Amino acid sequence: MAGIFDIELHDGETTNQDESDDDVIESNVGDYDTAPSVDSMLEGGNLFARSENVERVQLSEQNVNPGQEKTGPQDFELCKILGEGGYGKVFQVRKITGKDKGSIFAMKVLRKASIIRNQKDTAHTKAERNILEAVKHPFIVNLMYAFQTGGKLYLILEYLCGGELFTYLDREGIFLEDTACFYLSEIILALQHLHNQGIIYRDLKPENILLDGEGHVKLTDFGLCKEHIQDGTVTHTFCGTIEYMAPEILTRSGHGKAVDWWSLGALMFDMLTGVPPFTGSDRRKTIEKILRGKLNLPQYLTADARDLIRKLLKRQVAQRLGSSPDDAEQIIKHDFFNHINWQDVISRKLVPPFKPSLKSADDTSQFDEQFTATVPVDSPVESMLSESANMIFQGFTYVAPSVLEEMYNQPRVVTPRSEQRLSSSHHRRNHGFTPRTPDANLRPLSHFHHHRLTVPGHHSADDTEMMEVGPMPGHV
């Protein structure tokens, strides 16, 4: 996210922590002109002004970046609804114009009026768009286009027809260790890439991991990411999905990249046992268990799996695997991954354990019928923003370099703005879970989920303490 969009003002330095394994977390809520005038140079007898070859040109869309593809909602045919929530909808769409005519994408539509009500939501939306532009990786969803109208923002993403990893996990009950190892290895490389860019993800969970047509992982939903996080710097936003939140987020003591490795440990536990490691009958009990509860590991897990989970789920950040400047390298070298060829992982040469059963490239069978069976309509905007309000989203438009390369048949560089489930559903209900519903590629601030409590990042303790899981928010 560009610096101008980085409005979070609570960053600071980490403090020393007690490194005891048995501790629990207690929660307390001159030489040249630096600004030369071009006009004075031209009007003051400057050499360039006296040249007969100098021509004054009025800048316009026609002579700045000529040929730049102009894309809007009219260039896409709505096919299916993949998900919806409080801020908008996600559609499966078909491009009906341009060089990529006929291509299938996922189109995320957000209402500006809903977003600008909260400064944090505005910042997170911009961060999501900017991160998607800046980050290109085999295991991260690709942004193809971004554009806006007077009342809405549009993100056009690659369509990941394999659906959510959650779907497969819920169907199988639990994963075998080799299966979990495959998914974890691809996720680790995606998180490592984000961390190398100074980005923490903060919302790792099965619902935010989609599969492509071959069954490889793609991380989605970057609305809770935080940029400009380097070693030694922390941020304080209270956000994420409770069951996968690191203790330092819950205690608001300041957090950095290591929160993603705690979430990876929680995800690994979920894959191998059927539920996240710390769950309660309500949110307060879940938080209490995350901060103080004993980690119980089933004996059927191998010694390497148990060891890795323990080291990822260390409450004291300094003791957590991945917390050092080596970051992911510590995890990659763990014995649980001894049989993994990491070059084969990044090259996508490993054979996925599950290949989605698909009839065509536009198959939506891996998404919930409660959405896909609904007539796809991009609802009209009820109210338009003022010109000044619209300026908040200036610079939102984007066309992927791959699209430009195809248009011009030559390389183009776009500089980023910133660099088996234990009795499955029955078991989850007995642990305070309600059935999860697969929804969409990239949900704004995870509001497309109502079965887990996802905290969108407000700083107010009063706000967060009063949040409860409620019904699905209204339509666009």
- 38 marked among binding-site residues: no
**Mean pLDDT lowest among 26-35, 276-285, 346-355, 440-449:** 440-449
Token digits for 37? 């005038």
Q: Is residue 247 part of a domain?
A: yes
The verdict on 211 and 350 lying in the same domain is yes
To the query of whether residue 121 is one of the catalytic residues in this protein, the response is no
- DSSP letter at 117 equals T
Judge whether 82 is annotated as a binding position: yes
170 lies in the same domain as 95 = no
88 is in an annotated binding site: yes
The answer to whether residue 93 sits within a structural domain is yes
Query: What is the predicted pLDDT for the residue at 416?
Result: 41
Q: How many structural domains compose the chain? A: 2
**Residue 151's CATH number:** 3.30.200.20
Catalytic residue among 75, 121, 170, 203: 203
Q: What is the pLDDT of residue 399?
A: 79
Looking at the fold, whether 228 and 335 belong to one and the same domain comes out as: yes
Residue 314 has pLDDT above 60, yes or no: yes
pLDDT the model gives residue 223 = 81
Residues 232 and 95 in one domain: no
For residue 322, say whether it is annotated as part of any ligand binding site: no
**Is residue 285 located within the same domain as residue 177?**
yes
Which CATH number goes with the domain that contains 339?
1.10.510.10
Asked if residue 186 belongs to a domain, the reply is: yes
Is 86 assigned to a binding site?
Answer: yes
Residues 100 and 149 in one domain: yes
Shared-domain flag, residues 274 and 350? yes
Average pLDDT, integer, range 314-335: 95
Lowest-pLDDT choice from 357-366, 436-445, 454-463: 436-445
In this structure, of 26-40, 161-175, 248-262, 410-424, the range with the lowest mean pLDDT score is: 410-424
Find out whether 89 is annotated in a ligand binding site. Answer: yes
What is the C-alpha to C-alpha distance for residues 139 and 162, in angstroms, rounded to an integer? Answer: 13
Domain shared by 175 and 254, yes or no: yes
Rounded distance between C-alpha atoms, residue 347 and residue 304, angstroms: 25
* 208 phi/psi in degrees, rounded to 5: -100, 10
Whether residue 341 has pLDDT greater than 90 = yes
Furthest-apart CA atoms within the chain: distance in Å: 85
Q: Do 200 and 343 have their domain in common?
A: yes
* 361 is a domain residue: no
Tell me the one-letter amino acid at 465.
Answer: E
- Chain CA centroid to CA 339, Å: 29
Question: For residue 436, is pLDDT > 90?
Answer: no
* Residue 468 near residue 77, CB atoms below 8 Å: no
pLDDT tens, 74-110?
999 999 999 877 677 899 999 999 889 999 999 999 8
Is 157 within 8 Å of 108 (Cβ atoms)? yes
Check the annotation: does 159 bind a ligand. Answer: no
Residue 77 falls within a domain, yes or no? yes
Q: Please compute the mean of the pLDDT values over residues 286-311 and round it to a whole number.
A: 96
Provide the mean pLDDT of the chain: 75
pLDDT tens, position by position, 42-69: 444 444 444 455 555 554 444 444 445 6
For residues 253 and 348, membership in a common domain is answered with yes
Q: Give a yes or no: residue 51 inside a domain.
A: no
Full residue range of the structural domain in which residue 107 is found: 73-159+378-401
- Note whether 285 and 199 are same-domain residues: yes
Q: Say whether both 288 and 203 belong to one domain.
A: yes
CB 129 within 8 A of CB 398: yes
Instruction: pLDDT band for 221, please (50, 70, 90 cuts).
Output: confident
pTM beyond cutoff 0.85: no
pLDDT tens for residues 145-202? 999 888 889 999 999 999 999 989 999 999 999 999 999 999 999 999 999 999 999 8
Structure confidence at residue 3 (pLDDT): 37
- Half-sphere exposure (CA, 13 Å, Cβ side) for 426? 3
